[in-house]
Structure 1
C-alpha cells in the first residue's frame, strides 16, 4: 500500500504525487470517499489516475491510496442474469444500497458472498491437475452449468476436494503444489487488460448462426470471429445487435452498452428477461450478462467496460462454451480514450484521437478466437462491435481502423433504414472474409453449394445497382428484357430475402436450411425466367405478379419447421413456365 496526495484535478483525470512505489494500471482509492481509480501513466513519483466516478468536490491535498493490484474482475458462479456497470459493480445491489440515484463511493462485490451454490466435484483426491482443468460443476442457471477450474498459475495434486453447498469464497479443494498447499475456492480474479491464456488458436470453421438472412447467407460471422457493424445515427446498429444477441447460437451472450443512451439499455433490461430462448424454452437472461455504462456515467468507466466484458467472455470460453460479445459501441469507447488522452496532454493524431488508437482497437479484437482451452476442450469468443461514425462517414479513424482488424464488415445504410428495409445492411459495402473457412461446414450441412449461389446473387445485386443508374436517366423500358428480368429478380431478393421482419414470429429468426431453400427458390424463378426469354416470351408475361408475390411472401407462408412446402412452391414455378411453353415453346 502506498499513499500520495492529489496535486491536480482535470475532470475524470487526477494527478497525485508521492506514489513512487506504485505500478501502471494499479487500482487506487481516491479521497475520503474512496472513489475507484486506475493509474494510467507514471512520471517519477507522479501518477496520472483516471477515476471511475464523478470527481466534483475533490481537490489538491486529498489523499490517494494504492491497492497494489490491477483492475480486475471477479469470476465465479452468480455472474449470469446480472447487470453490471463498467467496472463490474452490480447495479441491482447498488440500487439497494443507495436508492434510485447512485452516490459516489458506493460499491459492492461483484459476486454475492452470502449465496451458497451446490458444488459437485468431477475430479478426485490424488488427481494431478494443471491450470484450467475442471475441478467440478455448479448449476448456475437451468441452462448453463458453471465449471469450476483450477486457477491460472496453479498446478499440482489434489489433496482434498469437497462436495456440498458453499459460498463463492469458501474453500472447495486443496491442491498440493511445489510452493505448498493452495486453497481453491469458486471465486477467481483476473486483470481485465490481460488476455486469459489458451493452448492455441484454431481456424474458425463454424458459422455463428444469427437467424438473420443477410448475415448468415451473404456476410457470415464465424464462431470465434470478429465483426463490425458501422452505421450513422438511426440506421439500426443497436437493433441488429439485439437480434444477434437474442437469437445467435452462442452458449453465452455478453452485452456491453458502452456510452449508449440510457433508454436503450433500459429497453435491453426490460426485453431480455421476457424473451424466450428457442433452444431451451427458458428466459434468454439465463445465459446472458449485461454490462451497462451509459452516456451519462463517468467517461473513464466507459473505457474499462469493454475490457470487463471481454474478460468475462474469455472465462466462459475457458469452460468450453461459445461466447458472443456485443460491444455497443466501440466509438464511444474510442471517444473516452480521446478525452482521457487530451487531459493527459498527449500529442493528438487524426481527428484528435490518440496515436495508439489502432493498437487499442487491435488489442481488443485480438482477444476473439476459437481456441483449444487449457482443459483440453474447445471454446470461442466472437466479438461484434458497433461503430458510430459521426455523420455516417466511414472514412473517420475509428471505422477505418476497425476495418483493418475485423473479418466481417456489416455496413448499415441510413437510406435503407428510412425506407423501412431492416436489417439495413448495405450489400454493396459489406463483406465477410470467412467464406473459404466455412465452405466445408456448408457442404456437410446443406444440399447444394451456398457459397456459389451467394456469389451469383451478390454479382446480380451489384449489376442491378448499375442498371438503376440507367433507369433513373432514361427509364426501364429502354433496357433489354434480360436486364429487366435482373431488376425484377433483384427486387425479389431485396424484399423477399434480405428484408426481414423482427415482429413476425416466423420471420424474426430463420434457420440456415430455410435460408438456403429460399435462395434456391429465387434462383429457380430466375433460371426459368431466363429460359422463357430464350423462347421470346414477353417480359410482361414472365413477371407474373401472383407468382412473384408468392415467392416474396414465402418468408411468412412457409414455417421454419416445414421446409417440404418449398417443393410445392418450386413445382408451382415450374408448372407456370411449362404452361407458358404450350404457347411459346418448350421450357424444360
Structure 2
C-alpha cells in the first residue's frame, strides 16, 4: 500500500509527497473521509491529485492512500435505465441511503450486488474461446439483451459453465488458459476509463444514422460510427437537438452525459426520458438509455472523468454488437475542467487559458467512435457514434473549444440564435454547417431513398446560399429591383426553409420524417419551383404564382401521416400543374 502526506490543497487539486512508487492516473483515497481522487502529475515523490469531491476540511498532513489501480468502472447488467455521477456512482442508490445531498467519501458500487439476473449460456463446456466471445446472455430490459463477454485479454477452454440466477459478482463460468491458469468469469468486468476498449478492425462508416430530422439527414448527415458537434449559444436548442437524436435515431443504446450543465436541464432529462416512448419498441426510452449526470454545481474535476466514463460504457455495448450513440452535453464544460486543473498545476496556458493539449484530449474522446469489427470469433460489426454539444461564450464560433473540435469531427451542426428566436427548430444554420460524410453516404441514399437524392439536396443547399446573397440586395435596394426569376427563387427557398427544414417536435407526424418521405417532400418543393419558373418565362405573373392555393398544400405536406402521404403528394403534384396552367392560359 502506497501512502503519502498532503503538503498543499488548492481547490480540487491536492499535492502529496512520499508517492514515488505510485503511477500516473492511479486512484487514491484522500484524508479521513476517503475522498476519491486521481493522480494527474508526478514530479519526483510528489503527486498532484485531482479530487472528484469537495475538498473543504482537507489540509496539509492528511494521509493519501493509493489503490494502485487506475480509475475503472464496472461493466455488466444493471447499467441500462440507471443514472450515475461522473465516476459511475449510482445517484438513485445514494439518494435513498444518504439523502438529497451527496455525502463526502461515498463508495457505492456501480452495479447492484444483491439483484439476481437470469443467465442463459450460449456455449458449452469444452468450447475454445477468445477475447470478445459471447458466453451467455442476460435479459437486462424489455429491449436490451445483455451479452456476457470474455474479457479482451482472456483466451482458453471453458471448463465450467452455469445456468440460472446469479448476482453480478457470482462466477458463471471458468476458463482454462494455455498456461493452465483457471480464470473465473462473472457477469461483470472492470475497465480503466482512459484506455480505449480494443477491437479487431476499424471500418469506414457508410450507413446513415437516420435521425428523422430533415435538416440533418438531408443536408448534413452523420453515419453510424461518425462524429458530430453541435455548437451554439445559450437557448439555441443544443439540448433539444440531442433529445430528438436520442429518441429518434436508429441506434440500439444511448449514453447521455450531462457534463457540467445546469441541474434543471438534467432534471428535465430525468422527467422526460422515462415518459418518452421508444418509437421502435413502444417501451420507455430509458429501457435503452444510460444517464451520466455531472451538473455545474458538482465538483469541477469530476466533469473530466464523466466524458471518459460515458465513452467506456458506450464501447462496452458496442462490443456486444450494438449500434450505440453517445451524447456529451457539453464538451465546453469538460474543457473548463481541464483549464481549471491546468491553471492550478501552473502549466503554460494556451489560447484563452485552455491547456495546450486541449485538441489532443478532445481527439482521444472522438477517436474512440467508429464502425468496427468487434473482438470475438463471430466477427460481428458494431458502431459507436459520438455527438458533442459545445457551448461557446456568446455563441462565438472562434472559441478555442469549437475550433479544436472542428479539427477532429466531420459533421458540424452550427446552431443559430436568430433562428431559435424565430422559433425555427432545429435551429441549424444551413450557411455554415457541413458534413464531410456526404460522398461516402451517397451509395446508401441511392439504395435506400432515390438515385437523385444527392443532386436534389445539393440543389436545395445551393438555392439557400443564393437566397442569402439576394437578401443582401433586397436590404439595400428593395425586392422590386430583383428579376422575376430571382423573386421566384426567394419564394422557393422560403418553402424549403419553412416547409422542409422547420419541424414541429410536438407533432406526431412531423417530429420524425422517414428518409423516403424527406426525398418526396423536397421533390415536391423543387417540382413547384421548376414548373413555376417555366410558367413565369411563358408570361405568368410572379405575384400570382406566389399566391397560388397549392402553396398552402405544400406547406401542410410535411404533416401528412406516413401511411397516407404518397397519394396526397400525387394530388398536390396534379394541383401544381393545373393551377400553373391556369395562370398561363
Which of the five TM-score ranges fits, normalised by the shorter chain? over 0.9
The offset of 1:533, in angstroms, is 1.6
Q: Give 1:1-40 correspondences, 5 Å limit.
A: 1-40=1-40
Q: What SS does the corresponding residue of 1:553 show, helix, strand or coil?
A: helix
Shift of residue 396, structure 1, vs aligned partner: 1.4
Is 1:420 aligned to 2:423, yes or no? Answer: yes
SS in 2 for 1:405: coil
Conserved? CA contact 2:410–2:437, under 8 Å: yes
CA contact under 8 A between 1:221 and 1:227: conserved in structure 2?
yes
1:99-156 Cα offsets, whole Å, 9 max, x none, are 0111111231000010010011111111110000010111000111000000121000
After superposition, the CA RMSD in angstroms is: 0.9
Q: Please name the residue that 1:439 is paired with.
A: 442
Do structure 1's residue 55 and structure 2's residue 55 form an aligned pair? Answer: yes
Shift in Å, 1:560: 2.1
Q: Tell me the alpha carbon deviations over residues 295-330 of structure 1, each in whole angstroms, 9 at most, x when there is no partner.
A: 000000001100000000000000000000000000
The whole-number CA distance in structure 1 between the counterparts of 2:257 and 2:534 is 51
Give the match's secondary structure for 2:549. Answer: helix
The runs of 4+ residues in structure 1 deviating greater than 6 Å are: none
Alignment match, 1:240? 241
* In structure 1, C-alpha distance between the alignment counterparts of 2:245 and 2:290, rounded to whole Å: 14
Residue aligned with 2:407, SS: helix
Contact 2:557–2:565 (8 Å) recurs in 1: no
TM-score by length of 2: 0.98
CA–CA separation in structure 2 for the residues paired with 1:351 and 1:303: 19
Contact map agreement 2:125 2:158 (CA 8 A) in 1:
yes
Matched, 1:495 2:508: no
Distance in structure 1 (CA, Å) of the matches to 2:303 and 2:217:
31
- 1:569 aligns to 2:565 (yes or no): no
Instruction: Give how far 1:563 is off.
Output: 3.0
Instruction: Give 1:322's aligned residue.
Output: 323
Give the conservation status (yes or no) of the 8 Å contact 1:261–1:294.
yes
Instruction: Give 1:147-546 correspondences, 5 Å limit.
Output: 147-179=147-179, 180-375=181-376, 376-546=379-549
Residues 14 and 51 in structure 2, CA contact (< 8 A), matched pair in contact too: yes
Determine the C-alpha separation between the residues in 1 that align with 2:575 and 2:195: 59
Number of aligned residues: 581
**TM superposition shift of 1:545:** 4.0
Counterpart CA distance in 2 for 1:31 and 1:560 is 61
Distance 2:74 2:54 in 1: 23
Is the Cα–Cα contact under 8 Å of residues 152 and 375 in structure 2 kept in the other structure?
A: no
Structure 1 gaps of 5+ residues are 584-588
Contact 2:266 2:295 in 1 (8 A): yes
Contact 1:116–1:168 (Cα < 8 Å) also in 2:
yes
User: Could you tell me how far apart the structure 1 residues matched to 2:571 and 2:540 are?
Assistant: 24
Using the alignment, how far apart are the partners of 1:297 and 1:331 within structure 2?
16
Deviations 1:202-226 (A, max 9, x none): 1111111111110011100110000
Q: CA deviation at 1:80?
A: 0.1
Q: Name stretches of at least 5 consecutive residues in structure 2 with no aligned partner.
A: none
Asked whether 1:65 is paired with 2:68, we answer no
CA displacement at 1:69 relative to structure 2: 0.5
Q: Distance in 2 between matches of 1:174 and 1:325?
A: 33
Contact 1:199 1:371 (8 Å CA) reproduced: yes
Quote the residue 1:586 is aligned against.
Answer: none
> 1:94, 1:107 within 8 Å by CA — same for their partners in 2?
no
Structure 1: distance between partners of 2:313 and 2:381: 17
**Maintained 8 Å contact 2:161/2:172:** yes
1:81-114: per-residue Cα shift (whole Å, max 9, x none)? 0000000000000101110111111231000010
Choose from 548, 551, 563 the match for 1:548.
Answer: 551
